[in-house]
A and B are shown apart, each in its own frame.
Chain A
Amino acid sequence: EPEVTQTPSHQVTQMGQEVILRCVPISNHLYFYWYRQILGQKVEFLVSFYNNEISEKSEIFDDQFSVERPDGSNFTLKIRSTKLEDSAMYFCASNKDGFDFYEQYFGPGTRLTVT
């Protein structure tokens, strides 16, 4: 069964450093998302992406964040200058088309630790 994959599984970085989190969505999916989950808290929407453009973003997704689909398979989240409060699990998700927007397939997540 196709699945969303994410790399790395765990990333440790120093405050102020840039990080890139990588995701490979399911191959025939067209809509891509990033979420974050601080330990023990709810899943928070960051951004949605379709047709090589950001569709929606939350207030969390400020100028320090950017997303890119550099090729036909990868979808990346970049944090330019990490802060301690960026420490969280970051999930990538995708779905096939706009009609099943509610059924999102999540990857296993990348745990980001900022020290």
Chain B
Amino acid sequence: GQSLEQPSEVTAVEGAIVQINCTYQTSGFYGLSWYQQHDGGAPTFLSYNALDGLEETGRFSSFLSRSDSYGYLLLQELQMKDSASYFCAVSGSYQKVTFGIGTKLQVIP
């Protein structure tokens, strides 16, 4: 099976940088994804790492270390609209994505 751990809450200041960590255990591994979910909304795909290293998409970057079963999402130049829950998700097979508990990010002025 799969299990993921990430912090439940993070608070950061507008304009700052925040890192949300995720560790995972899985019997099979294709990659680590990150999704954003605003309150009452649907999860929205942000980023994916299949190989070790950093992937950058605008203000968001995601990192993966397969040997450490660890990844993180880095959000730069935080904006108030970034306040949301962020889920890491592991793909243990091609057609199953297992989500973590989510990290609730609060951006404060």
Instruction: Classify chain B: how many residues form its interface, as a range.
Output: 20 to 34
Stretch from B15-23, B36-44, B69-77 that touches the partner? B36-44
Interface of chain B: mostly helix, strand, loop or mixed: strand
- B42-92 interface with A by 8 A CB criterion: 42-45, 48, 50, 87, 89, 91
B95 touches A31 (CB 8 A): yes
A45 touches B42 (CB 8 A): no
- B97: CB under 8 A from chain A? yes
Residues in B with CB closer than 8 Å to A41 are 101
Contact A45-B31, Cβ < 8 Å, known A107-B42, A108-B42: no
Residues in B with CB closer than 8 Å to A91 are 42-43
CB nearest to A32 among chain B residues: B95
A101 touches B98 (CB 8 A): no
A105 touches B45 (CB 8 A): yes
Residues in A with CB closer than 8 Å to B42 are 91, 106-109
B91 touches A102 (CB 8 A): yes
Stretch from A13-21, A48-56, A66-74, A75-83 that touches the partner? A48-56
User: Which of A44, A98, A107, A109 has a CB less than 8 Å from the CB of B94?
Assistant: A98
B45 touches A50 (CB 8 A): no
CA of A55 to CA of B95 in the docked complex: distance in angstroms? 7
CA of A31 to CA of B95 in the docked complex: distance in angstroms? 8
- B25: CB under 8 A from chain A? no
B43 touches A43 (CB 8 A): yes
Residues in B with CB closer than 8 Å to A103 are 33, 45, 48
Contact A102-B95, Cβ < 8 Å, known A42-B102, A108-B42: no
CA of A43 to CA of B35 in the docked complex: distance in angstroms? 11
B100 touches A56 (CB 8 A): no
Residues in A with CB closer than 8 Å to B91 are 101-102
CA of A54 to CA of B83 in the docked complex: distance in angstroms? 36
Residues in B with CB closer than 8 Å to A48 are 95-96
Q: Interface on A for B, CB 8 Å cutoff?
A: 31, 33, 35, 41-45, 48, 50, 55-56, 58, 91, 98, 101-109
Q: Interface on B for A, CB 8 Å cutoff?
A: 30-31, 33, 35, 37, 41-45, 48, 50, 87, 89, 91, 93-102
